[in-house]
Amino acid sequence: LGRFGHVDIALPGGDDFGGRPIDMHLRGLEAMGAEFQASSGSVIGRCGRLRGADIEFDFPSVGATENILMAAVVADGVTTIRNAAREPEIVDLCAMLHQMGARINGAGTDVITVTGVEASVMQAVTHEVVTDRVQVATYMAAVAVCKGDAVIRRARLEHMGMLVERFTEMGVTVNEVDDGVRVSCHGPLSPVNVSTLPYPGFATDYKPLIVVMLAMSTGTGIVTENLYPGRFKYVEELRKLGTDIEIDGHHAIVRGVEHLHGAIVNAPDIRAGAALVVAGLAAQGITEIHDVHHIDRGYDDIVGRLSSLGASVSRIRR
C-alpha cells in the first residue's frame, strides 16, 4: 500500500491453534486511509497517500505492530501506536528502519511514535537480525530433558528473562558466557506453574516446551494459556509418548512421569513439532515425527544442530 497504493493478497494461513484474526491490521491501515474488501479468499486494499493516525490496539499484536510501523514510516504526518507489542523483534525492526532513514520513537514500550518520511529518504542497509529466542529456548529445553551441558551461541538472555526464571526454578542452570549462553541440567526437574502473557511475560511459543519439561518433572505443574486457549492440540500427540496431561479449559495439568517411550506422532504446528522433537530425544526408544514441514518453517537446521549436540536425529525422506 505504501509503495503502490494497491494490494491483493491471499488470506493468511500459518499454524492452526485458534483464531488469529487480522482485524487489527485492517483497522489500523483503514485509520491511515486505506480501504479493504474481501474477494474469493483474498483481501484487496487500496489507498492514496497513507496518512498518520492515532491507533490503539485491543491487544499488543506483534504482527499488527510490525505492519502499522512499516506503513507509518512512509505515511504523511505522525502515527502513534498505542498498546504496541514490546518484543525484541519489534525493537530490532525499529532499529533497522531507523538505519534506513525512518523516524521512530518508543521502540520497546507500549507507545510508539512514527514521523513519516518521503520514500526517497529510505536507503538500503545491511542489518543482522536478532537471534530467534524461541529456537534458543528449544535447544535449552532439549539440553535440560536430556541432562546435558551445552553452549548456545548468540543467545541473548536479556530477551528471555521469564523463561530463564522458570528454567532456573525447575533446576536448570543457565549462565551467560562469551557470545552465548551455557545451559546444563544434571538433576531432576522440579514442577512449576506457568501462565502465558504478552512480552515481557512468558511467551505462548515457549509453552509446548515447558509442557514437555513438566511431563518429566518430579511433580505436577499447571500451564495456563491466556493468549490462544485452543493451543493444546499437540497434547494428544504427547500422550502417545506416555505423558500424563489433563486439559481443563485453558489450563494444562501436567503430572510428571518416570520416563517417556518412543512412538509415531504428528507435528500439528511449528512449536508443537519442536516440542515433540524434544520429547522424542528424552524418550526411551525411537520416536518418528510426521508432518515435519511445520517444523521446517521455524527451524532452518534442527537436525544438524541437535546432531552437533550429540543427539541421534535423522530425517527420513519418502
Ordered per-residue pLDDT tens for the chain, 318 residues: 888 899 999 887 655 444 557 899 999 999 999 999 988 788 999 999 999 999 999 999 999 999 999 999 999 999 999 999 999 999 999 999 999 999 999 999 999 999 999 989 999 999 999 999 999 999 999 999 999 999 999 999 999 999 999 999 999 999 999 989 999 999 999 999 999 999 999 999 999 999 999 999 999 999 999 998 888 989 999 999 999 999 999 999 999 999 999 999 999 999 999 999 999 999 999 999 999 999 999 999 999 999 999 999 999 887
Q: Which of 8, 15, 54, 132 is catalytic?
A: 15
CA atoms within 13 A on the CB side of 274: 27
Q: Cell match 541421534: residue?
A: 312
Task: Report phi then psi at 54, rounded to 5.
Answer: -100, 115
Spell out the domain ranges in the chain: 6-121, 133-308
CB-neighbour burial class of residue 13 (10 A; exposed 0-12, middle 13-18, buried 19+):
exposed
* Pairwise CA distance, residues 82 & 93, whole Å: 17
Which CATH number does 133-308 carry?
A: 3.65.10.10
Strands 54-56 and 78-82: parallel
Query: Can you read off the three cell numbers belonging to residue 16?
Result: 492452526
Is it true that 6-121 and 133-308 share their CATH fold?
A: yes
CATH homologous superfamily, domain 6-121: Enolpyruvate transferase domain (3.65.10.10)
Instruction: Dump the DSSP string for 112-167.
Output: EEEE---GGG------PPPP-HHHHHHHHHHHHHTT-EEEEET--GGG-HHHHHHH
* Pairwise CA distance, residues 135 & 298, whole Å: 8
291 as an active site residue: the answer is: no
